[in-house]
């Protein structure tokens, strides 16, 4: 498993601040109440352990169905030049990742896709949610696609 996408040289500003944290809390609450939707597509709550802090982190993220019941997520940061913090958390503690989806908490194993497998997943994602193509246009880093495979509890 290789989490090796470097920061780009151009892109939008990384979403952050009090307003962004409030949006995440509201989105997570809606997902937990059963809507399972965010900004027009399926959403889950990604739970990671901070790469530096060691604290539990939660982030609502959009997901797309992967093969064999896996979940595909994109580390887009809305086209920012840098990867979102949760990307580095996955890399630092891949054995401590869980998701909340469909009213269940599921331990998962993250894997960054590469090559033809990534290309195929990317086509699926931009067909379902064209906004991701616009995020890619804003930055010169290749947006990482992460497969989350359920693992035994």
Helices 115-128 and 131-138 pack at an angle, to 10 degrees, of 120
Q: How far apart are the first and last CA of the chain?
A: 20
What was the pLDDT predicted at 31?
84
112: helix, strand or coil: strand
Average pLDDT over residues 111-130: 96
pLDDT digits over 2-53, tens only?
788 888 889 888 777 888 788 788 888 888 887 676 767 899 999 999 999 9
22 vs 25: CA distance, rounded Å: 5
Q: What is the mean pLDDT of the chain?
A: 91
* Domains in the chain: boundaries: 18-150
Q: Which position has the higher pLDDT, 36 or 112? A: 112
Predicted structure pTM score? 0.91
78 vs 12: CA distance, rounded Å: 7
Of 97, 85, 104, 102, which Cα lies nearest the Cα of 42? 102
Element (H, E) at 100: strand 98-101
34: Cβ–Cβ under 8 A, 6 or more apart, which residues? 103
Average pLDDT over residues 88-93: 96
Of 31, 36, 3, 16, which Cα lies nearest the Cα of 77? 16
Is 18-150 CATH 2.30.110.10?
yes
Does the pLDDT of residue 109 top 90, yes or no?
yes
Compute φ and ψ for 36, nearest 5 degrees.
60, 15
């Amino acid at each position: 498993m290789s989490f090796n996408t470097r920061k780009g040289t151009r892109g939008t500003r990384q979403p952050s601040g009090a307003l962004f944290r409030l949006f995440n809390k509201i989105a997570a609450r809606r997902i937990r109440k059963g809507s399972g939707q965010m900004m027009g597509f399926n959403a889950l709550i990604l739970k990671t352990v901070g790469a530096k802090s060691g604290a539990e982190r939660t982030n609502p993220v959009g997901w797309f169905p992967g093969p064999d019941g896996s979940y595909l997520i994109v580390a887009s940061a809305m086209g920012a030049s840098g990867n979102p913090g949760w990307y580095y958390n996955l890399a630092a503690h891949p054995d401590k990742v869980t998701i909340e989806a469909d009213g269940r908490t599921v331990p998962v194993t993250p894997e960054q896709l590469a090559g033809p497998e990534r290309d195929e997943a990317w086509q699926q994602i931009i067909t379902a949610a064209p906004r991701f193509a616009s995020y890619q246009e804003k930055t010169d880093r290749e947006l990482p696609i992460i497969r989350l495979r359920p693992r035994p509890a």
